[in-house]
Amino acid sequence: MEPQNREQSTALSEGASNGSNGEGKQPSSVLAPTEAPPRDRRKKPRIRETPPTPPPPPRLDDYEPLIGKAELDELRFLAQALHGKTVKMVNSTAVGGGVAEILNRLTPLLTELEVATHWDVITGGNDFFEVTKAFHNALHGGAYQLTNEAREIFLLHNEQNRARMRFDEDVIILHDPQPAALIKSKTDNHQRWIWRCHIDLSNPHPEVWGFLRPLVEQHDAAIFSSQAFARQLSIPQYLFYPCIDPLSEKNKQLDASFIQQVCDDFGIDRSRPILTQISRFDRLKDPLGVIQAYQLAKKYADCQLVLAGGSATDDPEGAVVLAEVMQAAGDDPDIIVLNLPPWSGLEINALQSASTIIIQKSLKEGFGLTVTEALWKGKPTIGSAVGGIPNQVIHKLTGALVHSVEGCAYQIRYLLTHPEFAEQLGKNGREHVKENFLITSNVKRWLLLFQIMMGIARQ
């Protein structure tokens, strides 16, 4: 290894580099928390075996050190005109998935701003969720045979929910297709109904979309997560980017000692550059392409590669992809493949925080929250120009956009050998997230939209 690279890695990584020296490292092994890892590789298994109890949600003032008082004052000012108004959010799951995560934070923050917000979850049997999952996949462009039975199951469960729910609030927001038929409870009063679509509708299954569209068009507005996901509709459409919570386990500032401990536990050498991709083991995340890019770049600049993803045990395709990744990694001791349980927010945060460069080399992508998380941590980020990644990675300003393995390898090499430029990208990236993709920006968008919907503000 060249001494120059050692210096760069120290300059770009957080905290002191007193980590493992890599001695006794096993070649690219998968570290599943349930398996006993080699003793010398992972001294103390730190991953919890069961999900931890979630901490209480943060209060608005907790965000002040991150976004400043002026931003919070703006939220309070925008909320004033809405004091006493009521909002209902409806989705189909209380836990798991990005929507539940956002609603978990959004509901208490709006309520603290005196816009009383209630979150309701629709219920349904297995038949309903099988249909809605099939709709979800079909709306993402998958093949599907829409039957009358599926239509009936969808409508029946929505009817049952409609019968047990009340809709007295000033604004009702239905999230995603599952509760879309609750719109039938809309009356001709001043109440406003909004459809918030979190999924990519750029290439929907024509029949499924043809079935849902008349329901969607009964709303007063629709919200999409990216320009590319929007459809031609007869109602106004708004763009709301997804967001992250800077105070969540995955995004809060960690102690340098914890970051070091996680790296030690996983056998990651902090004295040398660390490239990381955090992703489910899914072909569309192109982990093999990441390995190829790392191998190309490594001819010119020393580095390690961390590929960390979710548990593959309940996903047959995930297990196959993981096996392919292991094979491609071969006996390279500098490729570290981690198979983490779903409650590894702190560990993922530590891996991202310890990284010299973060990569998201997806072939297809939704918004790419891993990119948001990387940028928020001020990391030089390389992302493919797909899905919502170009909204976040503005080439040469907030990161590097790539279109191929070779392009990715080139950017790795360039950023490793231009640490000041890399650092500037990271700083800009964090500002970009602060401005656009934090939960507090999301609260602001909701407040503005409520004002528009209630005729308090004009567009």
Q: Binding residues for ligand UDP, per CB under 6 A? A: 250, 278-280, 308-310, 340, 344, 348, 366-370, 373
Residue 201: is it exposed, middle or buried by C-beta count within 10 angstroms (0-12/13-18/19+)?
A: buried
DSSP, collapsed to helix, strand or coil, labels residue 93 as coil
Beta bridge partners of 237: 222
Minimum distance, C-beta of residue 372 to ligand UDP, in the bound complex (Å): 8
CB-wise, 90 or 340, nearer to ligand UDP? 340
Q: Which is nearer to ligand UDP, 102 or 340 (CB)?
A: 340
Q: How crowded is residue 265: how many other Cβ atoms within 10 Å of its Cβ?
A: 20
Nearest to residue 374, comparing CAs of 347, 393, 387? 393
Query: Distance between alpha carbon 104 and the CA centroid of its chain, in Å?
Result: 15
- By residue count, the chain amounts to 459
Per DSSP bridges, beta strands 192-196 and 357-360 are: unpaired
SS3 332: coil
Least distance CB 325 / ligand UDP (angstroms): 13
Is the Cβ of residue 9 or residue 352 nearer to ligand UDP in the bound state? Answer: 352
Task: Give the separation between CA 93 and CA 266, rounded to whole angstroms.
Answer: 33
Tokens at 182, concatenated: 């609750």
> Shortest Cβ distance from residue 389 to ligand UDP (Å)?
9
Task: For residues 374 and 392, give the distance between their C-alpha atoms in angstroms, rounded to a whole number.
Answer: 10
Q: Tokens 């105070």 belong to which residue?
A: 247
- Tokens 């990441």 locate to 290
Q: Is 185 exposed, middle or buried (0-12, 13-18, 19+ CB in 10 A)?
A: middle
User: What is the distance between the alpha carbons of residues 257 and 272, in angstroms, rounded to a whole number?
Assistant: 18
Nearer to ligand UDP, 440 or 451 (CB): 440
- Give least dist CB 54 to ligand UDP, A: 14
Nearer to ligand UDP, 22 or 45 (CB): 45
Question: 182 or 348: whose CB is closer to ligand UDP?
Answer: 348
Q: How far is the CB of 101 from ligand UDP (least distance, A)?
A: 8
Cβ-proximal residue to ligand UDP, closest one: 310
Helices marked H in 140-176 — which ranges? Answer: 148-164
Rounded to the nearest whole angstrom, what is the least distance from the CB of residue 77 to ligand UDP in the complex?
Answer: 31
Cα–Cα dist 234/89, whole Å: 23
Please list the residues that pair with 117 across neighbouring strands.
Answer: 87
Q: Which two tokens stand for residue 406?
A: 């070779």
Smallest gap from residue 250 Cβ to ligand UDP (A): 6
Q: Which is nearer to ligand UDP, 117 or 360 (CB)?
A: 360
Token representation of residue 98: 């990005």
Nearest-approach distance from CB 345 to ligand UDP, in angstroms? 6
Torsion 94-97-100-101 (CA) sign: positive
Min. distance of Cβ 42 from ligand UDP in angstroms?
Answer: 17
Q: 395 and 415 in contact (C-beta within 8 Å)?
A: no
Of 236 and 345, CB closest to ligand UDP: 345
Check residue 438 and report its DSSP letter: B
Closest separation in Å from C-beta 384 to ligand UDP: 12
- What the block records as the tokens of 229 is 């996901």
Residue number, 195 or 241, with CB nearest to ligand UDP: 241
Which residue's CB is nearer to ligand UDP, number 390 or number 419?
390
Nearest residue (CB) to ligand UDP, 161 versus 370 = 370
- With contact defined as beta carbons under 8 Å apart, do 424 and 399 qualify? no
